[in-house]
Amino acid sequence: MRQIVLDTETTGLEVRQGHRLIEIACVELIERRPSGRHYQTYLNPERAIDEGAREVTGIADEFLLDKPFFADVVEEFLTFIDGAELIIHNASFDVGFINAELERLGGQYGRINDRCPVLDTLAMARERYPGQRNSLDALCKRLGVDNSARDLHGGLIDAQLLADVYLAMTSGQVVLDLGFEGASETRVRTVQAPVVLARRPRVLRASEEETAEHQRRLDSLDKSAGGQSVWRRQEADV
């Protein structure tokens, strides 16, 4: 299973007001593990950045003057994400901006939703933690993900943090339900096929390092829960 955790930065909040992408960042997961591959580029938006966006990202107009246009990187970007499941926080925002950039090129590239299924981690978090703050920073705090290096919003660091948040939210989950409410453009297909075992499965046991990391994660969850987390209680019952 190949997944791409994606984040963008923009000149402003409203794509309908002509705001543009200024950064795209992607982190690759293979079988729920970081592969070490990523894609990141800054973009010349051909317009000024709103003051609010400059304060959030720390990116100045002058910095982007010599950066490529979206048309210059579109082939490389689409090649990196094609066929993967995209994991995005508040997906309608990022997908809307990317689709707007694709439409400016004449429509020959189609839309992101035609190329990749999209999983919205904000919709997932709202379903799991109703009535709570579900920003990326709030989820990092709740799930014990270290975001101390995030002084400003940056595409690559946000994508890396989101990958950790997604893995923490879905740890121990065998089957993911991707039919989240509100993700109307997400296509979900279930395929059923008989499972035939040609030989006895090989059991892989956790190493000492992996076991220690598991315990550290449970300690972090206990701290976030203010007591013994459900994961710790389940482990005690085994």
If residue 36 lies in a helix (H) or strand (E), which one and from where to where? strand 33-42
The first and second tokens of residue 169, run together, are 């939210």
Check if 153 is active-site. yes
The first and second tokens of residue 160, run together, are 């890396």
Residue carrying the six token digits 């579109």: 74
Amino acid letter, 49: I
User: Which of these, 138, 129, 32, lies nearest to 84 by C-alpha position?
Assistant: 32
In degrees, to the nearest 5, what angle opens at C-alpha 105 toward C-alphas 102 and 107? 65
Distances (CA, A) of 80 to 27, 44, 51, 85, 125: 10, 20, 31, 12, 26
Catalytic residue among 38, 89, 153, 214: 153
Residue 21 contacts residue 98 (beta carbons within 8 Å)? yes
Residue 50 C-alpha from the chain's centroid = 24
Q: Any idea which residues carry the catalytic annotation?
A: 153
